[in-house]
Amino acid sequence: MKLFVLNSGSSSLKYTLYDISGGIREIVSGLVERIGEQEGTATLLEKAPDKGKAS
C-alpha cells in the first residue's frame, strides 16, 4: 500500500510518497518553491532501494 503526504504553504508544496507494506519506506519526495514567481523551482528526490532487504 502507498501513502502520499502533502504539505502546502502559501508559495510552496512539499510531498513524500511512502510504501507502507510491511513497514514504512520513503519512495520519493520533493518540493515546489516560490510558486507564482519567475524564480520558482521544483525538486524531485527519488530514494534508492534498500540493499540487503528481501522484497
Query: What is the DSSP code string of 6-31?
Result: EEE-SS-EEEEEEE-TTS-EEEEEEE
* One pLDDT digit (tens) per residue for the chain, 55 residues: 999 999 999 999 999 999 999 899 999 999 999 999 999 999 999 887 766 555 4
Contact 19, 5 (CB under 8 A): no
Task: Centre a 10 Å sphere on the Cβ of residue 7 and count the other Cβ atoms it contains.
Answer: 10
Type of residue at 20: I
- Residue 55: what pLDDT? 47
Task: Centre a 10 Å sphere on the Cβ of residue 22 and count the other Cβ atoms it contains.
Answer: 10
